[in-house]
Structure 1
Amino acid sequence: MRFDPWNPSFVAHPYDVYADLRVNDPVSFFEPTGQWLVARHADVNALLRDRRLGRSYLHTATHEAFGREPEPEFQEPFWRVIRAGMLDVEPPVHTRLRRLVSKAFTPRMVESLRPRIRKIAAELAEGLVERGGGDLISEVAEPLPVTVIAEMLGVPERDRHLLRPWSADICGMYELNPSLEVQHTAVRAAQEFGDYLRDLARTRRDEPGDDLISALAQVVDGGDRLSEDELVGTCVLLLNAGHEATVNVTGNGWWSLFRNPDELERLRADRSLLPTAVEELLRWDTPLQMFERWVLEDIEVGGVRIPRGVEVALLFGSANRDPEAFADPDRLDVGRADNPHISFGAGIHFCLGAPLARVELIESFGALLDANLTLAEEPAWKPGFVIRGLESLRVTV
């Protein structure tokens, strides 16, 4: 099998293909998307930190000057929301946004959420046990981060059911060559979520509460503050990045443990391994398989010249299984001490929400370990490759 991100068999198990790429074709051009695939850990890690690449090129050139077709007009509402957050912009805009957001989204604030996260995780796990099992993804993995991010942002409970569908629809735009239907759905979701948050942000500016939207609305640094668009874009990013990955790490992670029962029993016997186990589950079956960068200046990677104006596709899933970076990389080891995985990225775009994701995952896996779960049926993967996760994961207790 070759690299084929639309093939369900490849999506289910891309790792043999990655191994072949790392040895025989570590930097290769993929015609269907017009991207250069980069498979080795050292190269991916270096390119994530290389300022000759960017998540966007619009800070340096127009679409036309960069040799690209302008985005279709119907996508404008989507990009207006997305590019108001920090993920799809570059310095100096990115530097300013990250500085302002970091003043409200602090490690101390994240750590203060741990007791509440532990309580939510315990309640969700108890509910699953009382029902004798069920779908671990829809009944635990999805509600936990959605509840946490909703409470953190200050979204009223009556509206929280809207968040997960909005996020899933928006993230459809990040798959490779999304269909027109997926694009229109993503635009609609971004517009609806953006309008919703805009109304909420205006309320919080006038009547601040003990929530992140209020904090972001009040952040001032030397007279600088977030605009309304930037606040909305930041909150959309926090929801999308803050729970899509957590949901998929939980589902992929439990499926990984079920396939490695000795490691599951090892973790059940020694809960002190939870922090290293979470890092290993992030590495072993990576939720974000690929991350893209635009080449802003001609570069050379592994002896291959890549010209300005194209995109590189950094294969996180391959990098995280590279034997040059990890001892016995295809073995799941919940006690792995030396684990330089790149599942949260690297460089200036390193995931701001990584500390929150780690707290959620440690508390979630800890609560579920007490439930003595067993797999009810082999799961199926969703069709998406870039954001890779299971349709469901049915378990019994």
Structure 2
Amino acid sequence: MTGTPRLSPRRTTPCGSGGYLALSVPEELGGLGATMRQVLYAQAELARHDGATGLASAMHQYLTLMQGFRRRKGAPDAEGVLRRVAAEGIVIATSGGSDWLWPTTTAVAVDGGFRVSGRKTFCSQSPAATVVATSAVLGDEVLHFSAPTTLGRKLAVLGRELPVVFDQRMGAPLVLRHKDVSAALRDTGTFGTQFYGMGPMAASMIAHDGAEHTRQRRIHNRFFSPGVSRRYAERIVPIAVRTFGSLKGDRAELVEDAIARYPMQVFLDLLGIPDEVGDQGLAWVRTIVSWLGSPMEEALAAPGMQAYQELSDYTRTLVEAELTDPKDNLLGEIIRAHLDEDQFSLEACVVAVVGLILGGFETTIQMVTATISSLLLNPDALEQVRADRSLIEPAIDEAFRWANPSAGLYRLVLKEVEIAGTPIAAGSMAYFCIAAAHYDEEAFPDPARCSTGVPGCGLILARR
């Protein structure tokens, strides 16, 4: 394909006349009544033949599906939109109001509705659209903004009717109820992490159970002993002050400029790595974590393996240099712990360092992001923590539940099992949905409330 692909009226007209634009409109409103899954299959087939039309029409289909959802939830205006899609063939374009995080489009209430002012430099399918859907700020409220509770609450509702559902894209059953997720994550005899042994993480602690896991855990505990950890804390606090203290002004890109960089700066300092490696290290870790977080996604495998190899090669040079010229840092503690256990090898130390970076990096980002977002979105909880510093630890625990830092975890099914009446075969993968479990009303009477006064009951799920 050459040139700039675009959805033109010439391409849209057949879609409208053939009823395709009303694909997801309910039949009783004049549409074809397709489910979301059927729409996705249809869009995939359309995109195979004409990528531009498939991409742009996806915007219309998304908004039509959204109106269907709003209708089911009782929105009074949704049915009218759906009827117009079916009867008039209107094409809905979508615009994000210039920026999703800090929108420049504003809305002012006037008689009969709102006056919207803004500018959007790119609006999908605008040449063919008859209606434009946008988002705007009304006073201090971002009208489109979604709370971090949305995913967990919706999946928990689904879980009350269907405790286990199969996701075709993930290629695995999703377990949604708290009691099932909690029991499975504790049952290492039935649900294991050995699938990590099929990739570059094969030698790491997470890929093993039993004696080998215990041995590696014992070595890790040596270089995270209480005395050593206190020395680490003395070095970490100034890094935190420097990283977050550099944020200026009323607004900041908190995740990119501070939260994502903070754990990397900590590891660079503790391991004695030059600061200039920071950006490259961040890129390696993000690529690897994306792959490990979605091991069934083939598109992530090749770049993930390459990043893992490059990070391992670089780490190997660090270990070799530390052996030649020992220093008082975390890398030296790792080497000494392996020597003291009579388990030293160059590769064992490389695996330990890489595993530490990968695990600590993602966990720290999730913890800090979840805690900050939970407190900012719950001002009363924030004031409680400010007034009583003893609530900091409970607030972190509760944030791990309320803000869903992890959607869930894959596990390898080691023996045939039945969950909530659904049989799952040995050798298959299952996905245990922590987000849904943390909003299960049978486990949490008021799951939407962020409470800093009581340690988060979901902690066992979020941190396993």
Displacement of 1:103: 1.6
The TM-score normalised by the length of structure 1 is 0.73
Q: Distance in 2 between matches of 1:278 and 1:155?
A: 29
Identity between Structure 1 and Structure 2 (%): 28
Deviations along 1:327-377, one digit per CA (max 9) or x if unpaired, are 41111112223624235444xxxxxxxxxxxxxxxxxxxxxxxxxxxxxxx
Aligned ranges for residues 165-184 of structure 1 at < 5 Å?
165-176=283-294, 180-184=298-302
Aligned match for 2:365, one of 247, 259, 265: 247
Letter aligned with residue 173 of structure 2: W
**Contact 1:280–1:334 at 8 Å: present in 2 too?**
yes
Q: Structure 1's 215 and 337: CA in aligned 2 closer, same or farther, altered over 3 A? A: closer
Q: Is the 8 A contact 2:295 2:301 kept in 1?
A: no
Q: Report the alpha carbon displacement of residue 171 of structure 1 after superposing the two structures with TM.
A: 1.1
Could you tell me how far apart the structure 2 residues matched to 1:104 and 1:188 are?
28
Q: Which residue matches 1:360? A: none
Map of 1:118 onto structure 2 = 237
Q: Residues of 2 paired with 1:327 and 1:113: CA distance?
A: 39
1:271 corresponds to which of 383, 389, 411? 389
Question: Structure 2 counterpart of 1:312, which letter?
Answer: A
Pairing partner for 1:293 from 388, 398, 411: 411
Partner letter of residue 191 of structure 2?
L
- TM-score normalised by structure 2 residue count: 0.63
Aligned partner of 1:55 in structure 2 is 193
SS in 1 for 2:218: helix
1:278 is displaced (CA, Å) by 0.9
- What's the CA shift string for 1:37-74, capped at 9, x where partnerless? 11122221221121122111598xxxxxxxxxxx7xxx
Distance 1:258 1:57, change over 3 A: closer
SS in structure 2 at match of 1:194: helix
Cα pair distance change 1:214/1:341, threshold 3 Å: same
- Whether the aligned pair in 2 keeps the contact of 1:38 and 1:314 (CA below 8 Å) is yes
Matched ranges for 1:321-360 at <5 A: 321-337=439-455, 339-346=457-464
Q: How many residues align?
A: 324
Match for 1:87: what amino acid?
Answer: I
Point out the more displaced range, 184-193 or 249-258. Answer: 249-258
1:158 and 1:18, CA in 2 relative to 1: closer, same or farther beyond 3 A? same
Q: Which residue of 1 aligns with 2:215?
A: 96
Residues 199 and 58 (structure 1), Cα distance of their counterparts in 2 relative to 1, 3 Å cut? closer
Q: 2:157 aligns with which of 20, 32, 35?
A: 20
Question: Is the contact made by 2:180 and 2:419 (CA closer than 8 Å) also made in structure 1?
Answer: yes
1:199 CA drift (Å): 0.8
Deviates more, 1:330-339 or 1:106-115: 106-115
Report the residue type matching 1:236 in the other structure: V
Cα RMSD (Å):
3.0
Change in CA separation of 1:94 and 1:26 when aligned onto 2, cut-off 3 Å: same
Q: Distance in 2 between matches of 1:171 and 1:254?
A: 22
One-letter code of the match for 1:127?
S
Q: For residue 295 of structure 1, report the CA deviation from its aligned partner.
A: 0.8
Report the CA distance shift for 1:305/1:221 in structure 2 as closer, same or farther (over 3 A).
farther
Amino acid across the alignment from 2:385: L
Aligned equivalent of 1:320? 438
> Which of 263, 267, 281 is equivalent to 1:149?
267
Q: Which residue of 2 aligns with 1:392?
A: none
Which amino acid is 1:273 matched to?
A: L
Q: Distance in 2 between matches of 1:247 and 1:27?
A: 29
Q: Which string of whole-angstrom CA distances, capped at 9 and with x for unpartnered residues, describes residues 267-324 of structure 1? A: 2233221111111111111222111111111122223322211111011112222223
Pairing partner for 2:175 from 24, 38, 50? 38
Q: 1:229 to 1:242 in 2, by over 3 A?
A: same
Gaps of 5+ in 1: 60-70, 72-78, 347-397
Larger radius of gyration: 2
The code of the aligned residue for 1:45 comes to S
CA deviation map 1:218-242 (0-9, x unaligned): 2247853143222212212211221
SS at match of 2:166: strand
Q: Displacement, 1:200?
A: 0.6
1:237 aligns with 2:343: no
Residue 11 of structure 1 and its aligned partner are, at CA, apart by 10
Q: Is the 8 A contact 2:381 2:452 kept in 1?
A: yes
User: Kindly tell me: are residues 90 and 2 of structure 1, through their superposed partners in 2, closer, same or farther at Cα, counting changes over 3 Å?
Assistant: farther
Change (3 A) 1:145 1:272: same
Q: Please give the alpha-carbon distance, in whole angstroms, between the structure 2 residues aligned to 1:48 and 1:179.
A: 22
Aligned to 1:351: none
Separation (CA, whole Å) in 2 of partners of 1:54 and 1:254: 32
The 3 A distance-change label for structure 1 pair 197 and 221 is closer
